[in-house]
Amino acid sequence: MPSAPDIQAVRQYLLELQDRITETLRETDGGAGFRQDAWERPNGGGGRTRIMEGGLVFEQCCVNFSHVFGSALPASASAQRPELAGRGFQAMGVSLVSHPLNPYVPSSHLNVRFFIAEKDGAEPIWWFGGGFDLTPYYGFMEDVIHWHRNAQEACLGFGDDLYPRLKRWCDDYFFIKHRNEPRGVGGLFFDDFDQGGFDNAFGLMRSVGDRYLSGYLPIVERRWATTYGDRERAFQKYRRGRYVEFNLVQDRGTLFGLQSGGRTESILASMPPEVSWRYDYQPEPGTPEAELYARFLVVRDWLGECGQDADDRYRQG
């Protein structure tokens, strides 16, 4: 008989995940650390926002936990799932966005979440979602290969086809349609996931949450002290504009949070602190900025097409 959803177990894991990630990133940064802003939602629930601003490594980094509930769903959640109409809901998750100071360190995003809709006399409808993705400003093949190997390892034990499926889902989801380009180099993304019952689906969410730091920290440690100047900083601010555009125009999580009466300051804490837009900017051919578009802002089979070549060059130094 399938196991029933254990809401308290999910909540406890998410709180512990937020604690673990914020403590590790605080140690990595070595600066003032995070401040916490606990909040309550008038319509039910609340959360705790932890944010680092002006760090030594991270210009801004937010790690949010939220657990909200209500008697009716917002339009962003019920439009594609009409069977949810008339049900009360609970939604909880941890979301993270890091915006490092050094342009050679990528921005990163993690989200793991659980949703359940219940109605008297009916079986609950529930699912897990989440994933992580990487947004570099200057591309390094060994960083991307490491990121995707780590993503592949997060999927081990959940089916041989899972990594390519979630990798493809991530490529599709984090594609900026109005720019006709990916937001970054991808990673994993999944939603509406209840495959194998509650225990299996919860296990996948935990595996994704637990693998974020092992994917991101080696890249941060490799790049954070790289020398940069005004040129790199200007390009970083320009490319951060794509992050803003995606979050405000396409991201379902942002829309759900705003439409469900979530805390606006916490939802928009994912935005980079300094951004710029330039009209019809085109990088000079042959520059590292042009290489980002040509080699990295493309959908690729990083572990198949690119993996062996990156391994060879990395061993050769």
User: What gap in Å lies between CA 235 and CA 89, rounded to an integer?
Assistant: 42
Say if residue 262 carries a ligand binding annotation.
yes
Say if residue 317 carries a ligand binding annotation.
no
Say if residue 261 carries a ligand binding annotation.
yes
Write out the H or E segment, with its range, that includes residue 186: strand 186-193
User: What gap in Å lies between CA 232 and CA 243, rounded to an integer?
Assistant: 17
Say if residue 208 carries a ligand binding annotation.
no
Say if residue 146 carries a ligand binding annotation.
no
Phi-psi category of residue 206: left, alpha or beta, with phi > 0 → left and psi -120 to 50 → alpha: alpha
Angle at 211 between CA 64 and CA 317, to 5 degrees: 120
Say if residue 76 carries a ligand binding annotation.
no
User: What gap in Å lies between CA 83 and CA 100, rounded to an integer?
Assistant: 42
Angle at 217 between CA 225 and CA 262, to 5 degrees: 110
Catalytic residue among 26, 109, 167, 183: 109
Say if residue 180 carries a ligand binding annotation.
no
Per the structure block, which two tokens stand in for 143? 């960083």
CA distances from 235 to 144, 238, 287 (A): 20, 5, 12
146 an active-site residue?
no
Say if residue 87 carries a ligand binding annotation.
no
Q: Any idea how long the chain is?
A: 317
Read out DSSP for 145-172? HHHHHHHHHHTTTS-TTHHHHHHHHHHH
Say if residue 67 carries a ligand binding annotation.
no
- Tell me the one-letter amino acid at 260: S
Residues tagged active-site? 109
Annotated binding-site residue numbers:
95, 99, 109, 111-113, 148, 178, 261-263
Annotated binding-site residue numbers for a divalent metal cation:
99, 109, 148, 178
Annotated binding-site residue numbers for substrate:
95, 111-113, 261-263
